[in-house]
Amino acid sequence: MHNVVIVGGGPAGLSAALAAAAAGAPVLLIDSNSRLGGQYWRNSVDELENQNEQHFDLATGLLLINAVKARKEIEVWSEAQIWSATNDEGKNTLRVIHQGKEKIVNTANLILCTGAYDRTLPFPGWDIPGVMTPGGVQSLLKGHGVLAGKQVVVAGTGPFLLPVAAGVIKAGGEVVSLIEANKSRRWVSSFIVILENLSKIKEAFYYIKTISRGKVRAQFGYAVIAAHAADNGELESVDIAKINRNFKVKKVKNIKCDVAAIGWGFTADTSLAGSLGCKQVVAKDESVVVWVDSEQQTNIPGVFAAGEITGIGGSDLSMAEGVIAGIAAAKFVGCKVDISKAHRKRRAKRQRFANALIKAYPIKTGWQLWPNDQTTICRCEEVSLGDLKFSVEELGATDSRTAKLFTRCGMGLCQGRICGRSVVDLVAKELNVLPTDIDRISAVNRPIITPIPLGVLAQGE
């Protein structure tokens, strides 16, 4: 019997597992990937010393992964998909597909570390093969040793664009253009936070060094606003626009590329927490995150959360939160441990840096003018902006939930993970109102966590 069940094998989940096991609690770690490490320390089956190139700090990741594997108190289920989760009077039930079978896990004590994925914004041509997320380009490199293209445009906003551009160059690709929508001077107001987090600056310079070696000049205040396909239906070029501080287009030029990696920060994957009934809130960057107290506990006693799902903040913050969640969960099951002041201070320092990041890389409403009526908004169900407008103007939808029911926007296989956030903004714009927190939280409500083949259920436990 496991006392603590942890979901997610990234920086937060690994840290939580080690902290809980060190405190004496037996742990079950459930991870959807085939190898531990999450997105940040994603690795391939190749020899690990060959993989340092694509990482700033794989050493820390390996330290945690190997420590988790070495501890006999920790059992790991890899390639395990949780498709359903419920909470009933203190008992959490997870339905997991593992090794081709459905397994049912009942636990009173759970730590959710389900991470995040790239936030994307719709624009004409964003569904053409060759347009990807930066995370996608990086996972192909880190997890499979494959360079997505020869001439790559890296664009969007946020510090994550730097490692992606550096990774492409290291793998022998050309970064045709590295474009950041925000101006770098937004950082000036966060001077003190930078000083107390110098290691993060060191990381940024590590990437910048590689990028400048590739003779790439970063352009600030620009964005990709359209993509064009060749006759074969695949990406051939993108339109890059100079934008103002509200992301309104000023001047456009076209450049050739075979891959465009475009990302706008991250969206927390709170689906599992939402299914359990954990309270969710809207963060400063308008993403929906899981609410936690100072011990990383959600509003459900015994259910903890750590890492990106409690607010986007990067791997360092995720580790700090994971440690606290692991200790708190062990304490919850009766282990004699306590969260120290040092743990809390470390988390606070990294939280200040995360807050500064959110302030430095805002996403302004001007993007809502990039799509036209023909632009696909929901990629799964092929719903266009014109369809969404029709549901508001002609069918009388008064919020994004109704627009979704009229158009099937966000009701495809990804369950709105890609378009959900944008639909809330676009429908509100059409209605000439501001999205409410209720709009945003209801857009991430997913009864099924991962679609699974029905046949697997028939042979379950």
Partner 1 sequence: MSQSEIQFTFDDKTISALSGQSVGAALLAANQRSLRKTRFNKDKRGIFCGIGVCFDCLVVVDGITNQRACIIEAKPGMKVQTQDGSNA
> Which residues sit at the interface with partner 1, rule CB under 8 A?
32, 34, 39, 44-47, 117-118, 127-133, 135-140, 143-146, 148, 232-235, 269, 376, 379-380, 382, 412-414, 417-418, 451, 453
Q: Which is nearer to partner 1, 157 or 297 (CB)?
A: 157
Q: Which is nearer to partner 1, 206 or 390 (CB)?
A: 390
Minimum Å distance from CB 287 to partner 1?
A: 15
Q: Which is nearer to partner 1, 374 or 432 (CB)?
A: 374
Q: State the burial class of residue 41 (Cβ atoms within 10 Å of its Cβ: 0-12, 13-18, 19+).
A: buried
Distance CA 298, CA 277 (A): 10
| R_g of the chain computed on alpha carbons | 22
Residue type, 170: K
Minimum Å distance from CB 206 to partner 1?
A: 23
Contact 147, 141 (CB under 8 A): yes
Minimum Å distance from CB 385 to partner 1?
A: 14
Q: Which two tokens stand for residue 311?
A: 């607010």
Distance CA 322, CA 19 (A): 8
Q: Which is nearer to partner 1, 35 or 103 (CB)?
A: 35
Minimum Å distance from CB 6 to partner 1?
A: 19
Minimum Å distance from CB 139 to partner 1?
A: 4
Q: Which is nearer to partner 1, 266 or 353 (CB)?
A: 266
Where are the alpha helices (H) located in 52-175, listed in sequence order?
58-70, 134-144, 161-170
Q: Which is nearer to partner 1, 240 or 378 (CB)?
A: 378
Q: Which two tokens stand for residue 206?
A: 């590590």
Minimum Å distance from CB 188 to partner 1?
A: 33
Distance CA 332, CA 264 (A): 37
DSSP code of residue 376: E
Contact 317, 354 (CB under 8 A): yes
Minimum Å distance from CB 136 to partner 1?
A: 3
Minimum Å distance from CB 229 to partner 1?
A: 8
Distance CA 354, CA 89 (A): 35
Minimum Å distance from CB 45 to partner 1?
A: 3
- Strands of 134-290, DSSP E: 151-157, 174-180, 218-220, 222-229, 235-243, 249-256, 259-264, 266-268, 280-282, 288-290
Q: Which is nearer to partner 1, 232 or 432 (CB)?
A: 232
Nearest to 125 by CA among 202, 227, 197: 227
Distance CA 201, CA 393 (A): 48
Q: Which is nearer to partner 1, 234 or 293 (CB)?
A: 234
Minimum Å distance from CB 66 to partner 1?
A: 15
Which stretch of DSSP H or E encloses residue 342? helix 341-360
Strand 81-88, strand 91-98: pairing: antiparallel
Contact 30, 83 (CB under 8 A): no
Buried b (16+ CB within 10 A) or exposed e, 128-156: bebbbbbbbbbbbbbbeeebbbebbbbbb
Q: Which two tokens stand for residue 360?
A: 């430095």
Q: Which is nearer to partner 1, 352 or 379 (CB)?
A: 379
Q: Which is nearer to partner 1, 42 or 200 (CB)?
A: 42
Q: State the burial class of residue 458 (Cβ atoms within 10 Å of its Cβ: 0-12, 13-18, 19+).
A: exposed
